[in-house]
Amino acid sequence: AQSVTQPDIHITVSEGASLELRCNYSYGATPYLFWYVQSPGQGLQLLLKYFSGDTLVQGIKGFEAEFKRSQSSFNLRKPSVHWSDAAEYFCAVGAVNTGFQKLVFGTGTRLLVSP
């Protein structure tokens, strides 16, 4: 069965420092991969997605992620974190079931930004 692992429950980064959030997936076929962000009390917003092609994908708010098939990973990065980036980040894999997709989410990583 498909699954997503986000090994870091929470991460604290200083404002202006770089960020990398880890994501590993398990899926038998070529995966569709996503990163979503959830700000406190809000819904989920799509940051970026990987379907095919270039393994380095750019998203909104200056985020990027790199798909590495050999490591079954899709880590999220940002070169310089802003205080407004503090939120919960979810990695997800799109699993096709009877022709239709469902998203399987990781358990999330809470990002804290220190001054």
Partner 1 sequence: DTAVSQTPKYLVTQMGNDKSIKCEQNLGHDTMYWYKQDSKKFLKIMFSYNNKELIINETVPNRFSPKSPDKAHLNLHINSLELGDSAVYFCASSHSRARGANVLTFGAGSRLTVL
By the rule CB under 8 A, 11 interacts with partner 1: no
CA-to-CA distance for 5 and 72, rounded, in angstroms?
Answer: 10
Measuring CA to CA, how many Å separate 97 from each of 5, 24, 73, 80, 103? 20, 20, 22, 38, 10
> Quick one: which of 51, 72, 81, 112 contacts partner 1 (CB under 8 A)?
51
By the rule CB under 8 A, 99 interacts with partner 1: yes
By the rule CB under 8 A, 42 interacts with partner 1: yes
By the rule CB under 8 A, 3 interacts with partner 1: no
By the rule CB under 8 A, 84 interacts with partner 1: no
Within 13 Å and on the Cβ side, how many CA atoms surround 28? 3
By the rule CB under 8 A, 70 interacts with partner 1: no
> Quick one: which of 82, 102, 112, 114 contacts partner 1 (CB under 8 A)?
102
Q: In this structure, are residues 6 and 21 in contact, taking their beta carbons and an 8 Å threshold?
A: yes
CA-to-CA distance for 73 and 6, rounded, in angstroms?
Answer: 10
By the rule CB under 8 A, 46 interacts with partner 1: yes
Task: Please report, as ranges, the residues that interact with partner 1 according to CB under 8 A.
Answer: 32, 34, 36, 38, 42-46, 49, 51, 88, 90, 94-105, 107-108
